[in-house]
Structure 1
Amino acid sequence: MHLFKKGKCFLPLSLSALVLAACGDDSGAAGDESNESNGENGEIELTYVAWESEVASNNVIGLVLEEAGYDVNLNQVEQAVMWQSVAQGDADGHVAGWLPSDMATDYERYGDEVVDLGPNLEGNRTGLAVPDYMDVTSIEDIHSDNFDEIVGIDAGAGVVDSTEQAIETYDNIDIPLQTSSDAAMTAELGQAIEDEEPVVVTAWEPHWKFNTYDIRFLEDPEGIYEEEEEIRTVVREGLEEDEPEAYQILDNFYWEADDMNEVMLDISENEMEPEEAAQNWIDNNRDMVDEWLDIEETDEDSDSE
Structure 2
Amino acid sequence: MNKFVLGAVAAMLASAGHAAEMGAVDEPIKLAVNEWTGQHVTTHVAGEMLKAAGYKVDYVTAGMMNQFQALADGDLHATLEIWSSNVSDEYAKKIGEGTVVEIGDLGLDAKEGIAYPAHVEELCPGLPNWEALRDCAGVFAAAETLPAGRLVDYPADWGTPGADRMKGFDLPFKAVPAGSEGALIAELRASTEKKSPLLITFWQPHWAMSAYDVKFVDLPEGNEECFNDPAWGTNPNATHDCDFAPSRIFKASWSGFAEKWPAAAEILTNYQLAVEDQQPMMGKVDVDGMAVEEVVAAWMAENEGKWKPVVDAATE
Q: Under a length normalisation based on structure 1, what TM-score does the superposition of the two structures give?
A: 0.78
> Which residue of structure 2 aligns with residue 108 of structure 1?
92
Q: Structure 1's 297 and 62: CA in aligned 2 closer, same or farther, altered over 3 A? A: closer
Q: How far off its partner does 1:73 sit?
A: 1.2
Matches within 5 A, 1:9-20: none
The answer to whether the Cα contact below 8 Å between 2:46 and 2:271 also exists between their aligned partners in 1 is: yes
Aligned to 1:209: 208
SS at match of 1:229: coil
- Using the alignment, how far apart are the partners of 1:73 and 1:80 within structure 2? 20
Report how far residue 66 of structure 1 moved. Answer: 1.5
Evaluate the alpha carbon distance shift between residue 294 and residue 196 of structure 1 in structure 2; reply closer, same or farther with a 3 A threshold.
Answer: same
Instruction: Report if the CA contact (8 A) 2:163-2:175 is conserved.
Output: no
The answer to whether the aligner puts 1:89 opposite 2:74 as a matched pair is: yes
2-structure distance, mates of 1:49, 1:153: 14
Deviation at 1:122, TM superposition (A): 3.5
Note the C-alpha offset of 1:139.
3.3
Q: What does 1:120-139 align with in structure 2 at a 5 Å threshold?
A: 120-135=106-121, 136-139=127-130
- Aligned position for 1:22: none
TM-score, normalised to structure 2, is 0.76
Shift of 1:183: 0.6
Match in the other structure for 1:235: 253
Q: What do the CA deviations read for 1:203-262 (whole angstroms, capped 9, x no partner)? A: 011111113221111111263443532211101111111011211111111021111102
Paired residue for 1:195? 194
Runs of 5+ unmatched residues, structure 2: 1-23, 122-126, 142-149, 223-241
Q: Which amino acid aligns with 1:156?
A: D
Q: Which amino acid aligns with 1:266?
A: K
Bigger shift: residues 104-113 or 84-93: 104-113
Alpha-carbon distance, 1:96 to partner:
1.6
Q: Secondary structure at 1:165's aligned position in 2?
A: helix
Higher relative contact order (CA 8 A, sep 6+): 2
- Supply the distance in 2 between the matched residues of 1:138 and 1:51 (Cα, whole angstroms): 29
**C-alpha separation between the residues in 2 aligned to 1:178 and 1:83?**
22
Unaligned runs of 5+ in 1: 1-38, 299-305
Question: Helix, strand or coil for the counterpart of 1:146?
Answer: helix
- Separation of aligned partners in 2, 1:269 and 1:179: 19
Give the match for residue 281 of structure 1: 299
**Superposed displacement of residue 297, structure 1:** 5.1
Higher helix share: 2
SS at match of 1:80: coil
Counterparts in 2 of 1:98-177, with a 5 A limit? 98-99=83-84, 101-103=85-87, 105-112=89-96, 113-135=99-121, 136-143=127-134, 144-148=137-141, 149-158=150-159, 161-177=160-176
| Cα displacement (A) at 1:116 | 0.5
For residues 162 and 201 of structure 2, the distance between their equivalents in structure 1, rounded to whole angstroms, comes to 7
Q: Secondary structure at the match of 1:145?
A: helix
Taking only aligned residues, the RMSD between alpha carbons, in angstroms, comes to 2.0
State the one-letter code of the partner of 1:251: T
What corresponds to 1:247 in structure 2?
265
Q: Which residue of 2 aligns with 1:13?
A: none
> Alignment partner of 2:66: what SS?
helix
CA distance in 1, matches of 2:217, 2:305: 37
Once the 2 structures are TM-superposed, how far is the Cα of residue 51 of structure 1 from its aligned partner?
0.9
Provide the secondary structure at the position in 2 that maps to 1:142.
helix
Which of 22, 27, 31 is the matching residue for 1:46?
31
Identify the range of structure 1 (69-78 vs 222-231) with the bigger mean alpha-carbon deviation.
Answer: 222-231
